[in-house]
Amino acid sequence: MKRVLVYLGFVLLLSGLLLASCSENQMTDKKGNYDWAEKRAAMVQQLRVYAIEDERALKAMSTVWRHKFIPEEYLGVAPPYGDHPCPIGYDQTISQPYIVAYMTEKLNIQTGEKVLEIGTGSGYQAAILAELGAEVYSIEIIPELANHARKALTTEGYEQVKVLTGDGYKGWPEHSPFDAIIVTCAPEDIPQALVNQLKEGGRMILPLGVYMQRLVILRKKSGRIEKVDDLPVRFVPMVR
């Protein structure tokens, strides 16, 4: 009898341990919300430390689920909420959170503005712009990434974002003029078609250059372009 009780106790202990390890796995599962919410809060805290001050941009960054825009097979490659770029396939990356927040802050997007993004990539930056109330048009040259972004944007509730598979050098004339343009891949020179598609008073932010790149901020005033050089950066090239 005693033996049976010891045996039963052992079985109960084992199943308890098994259950505990299952629920532990669930908490740290790739899709587990609690864990990611904590990571997202830490990311936003880090952005504050790096002097991002725009509360609207910070709120958007704490609202959008960054891990949902990184293709699942890459989630284990680099922590999705760490302050670094993460691979998304096809030799492309999702920009580091600081750069996303910085460019968003600089553009100062207002609700209802029409915004063009060049380089949809994962769709994350487009989601941030949509979260700020912008009407977002985004162009991606790699069809597989454009498809991935469309899916991620739809499942995350940003189905109103329009993604075009095509060449960003041409812009999207049918929907121009734009209040703001954000380029997330680096051309050597400022693409003239994009300047043409910018509204009077509109602003554009883009990384410029090949090896030594700089963020450049443009504003169209009385048909002329005012240009300010900003941070040194490292983006993937804008291909032709």
Give yes or no for residue 95 binding ligand SAH (CB under 6 A): yes
* Contact stretch for ligand SAH (CB under 6 A) within 6-14, 32-40, 165-173, 218-226: 165-173
Q: Is the dihedral of CA 186, 139, 47, 82 positive or negative?
A: negative
**CB closer to ligand SAH out of 44 and 118:** 118
What is the maximal distance between C-alpha atoms in the chain? 95
Residues sharing a CB contact under 8 Å with residue 213, sequence separation 6 or more, in sequence order: 186, 207, 232, 233, 234, 235
How many residues bind ligand SAH, per CB under 6 A?
23
**Smallest separation, CB 60 to ligand SAH (Å):** 13
Give yes or no for residue 168 binding ligand SAH (CB under 6 A): yes
**CB closer to ligand SAH out of 4 and 210:** 210
**CB closer to ligand SAH out of 184 and 197:** 184
Alpha carbons 68 and 153: distance in angstroms, whole number = 9
Contact track, ligand SAH, 169-188, x by CB under 6 A = x--------------xx---
Q: Is the dihedral of CA 78, 80, 86, 92 positive or negative?
A: positive
For residue 46, the tally of other CB atoms under 10 A from its CB is 16
For residue 155, the tally of other CB atoms under 10 A from its CB is 12
* Contact stretch for ligand SAH (CB under 6 A) within 10-18, 42-50, 136-144, 223-231: 136-144
Among 64, 139, 163, 233, binds ligand SAH (CB under 6 A): 139
**CB closer to ligand SAH out of 186 and 218:** 186
Alpha carbons 28 and 24: distance in angstroms, whole number = 7
Give yes or no for residue 140 binding ligand SAH (CB under 6 A): yes
- Got the DSSP string for 49-75? HTT---HHHHHHHHHS-GGGTS-GGGT
| Residues 215 and 205 sit within 8 Å (Cβ to Cβ) | yes
* Contact stretch for ligand SAH (CB under 6 A) within 25-33, 87-95, 155-163, 201-209: 87-95
* Contact stretch for ligand SAH (CB under 6 A) within 40-48, 71-79, 161-169, 218-226: 161-169
| C-alpha dist (Å) from residue 119 to 4, 31, 57, 163, 169 | 66, 26, 20, 10, 10
Q: Is 95 among the residues known to form the active site?
A: yes
**Active site positions, annotated:** 95
Residues that bind ligand SAH (CB under 6 A): 92-95, 118-119, 121-122, 124-125, 139-142, 145, 167-169, 184-185, 236, 238-239
